[in-house]
Amino acid sequence: MACAGLAGLGLAGCGFQPLYGSNSTTASGAKLSETMAAVDVQPIPGRVGQKVRNELIFANTGGGVAAPQKFKLRIAIREQVINQLVRISGDAKGQVYQLEASFKLIDASNGAVIHQGSAVSRAPYSRYQEIFANVRARYDAENRAAETVSESIKTQVAAFLASSA
């Protein structure tokens, strides 16, 4: 406990600042939470795309009203299912749902791409004889992957905006 306190004191003077702290600011001095609320997440096609978008909107605004748009976030996703544990009969006992997303952060005032990146998530799930169980397992895997990808994108965008906006 004392070591953690000493480490905290040691970092206090070096300019270290938590990314998601209540007093986190951008390089220009604006509150990071307000800057993130000004990011307009563009629609993404498909159920999983909508899930990623909703997760990002909620993470950026906290469920409140979005600030006037300063940035646009365009995201393209690619989905893939990978069979695992394939039996001699050719049936897969398990599958991995893979979600890849590439994104561009665009300055809304001039349309210039100011940051881009990508995120990947893999969510394994088991296959069963019951059709409904397979559908539900796949949906759960898609939701887990969407949450992971949206968190990764949010962190990358927040880190960029904290250091340059």
**Gap between the terminal Cα atoms of the chain:** 36
Q: Report how many domains make up the chain.
A: 1
Give domain status of residue 8, yes or no: no
Give domain status of residue 19, yes or no: no
CATH code of residue 108: 3.30.160.150
Give domain status of residue 54, yes or no: yes
Give domain status of residue 74, yes or no: yes
Q: What domain range includes position 42?
A: 29-164
Give domain status of residue 106, yes or no: yes
Give domain status of residue 9, yes or no: no
Give domain status of residue 63, yes or no: yes
Q: In one letter, which amino acid is 116?
A: Q
Give the Cα separation of 152 and 155 in Å (integer). Answer: 5
Query: In tens digits, what is the pLDDT along the chain, a chain of 165 residues?
Result: 555 554 554 544 455 455 555 545 554 556 888 889 999 999 999 999 999 999 999 999 887 777 889 999 999 999 999 888 766 676 778 889 999 999 999 999 999 999 999 999 999 998 888 889 889 999 999 999 999 999 999 999 999 998 886
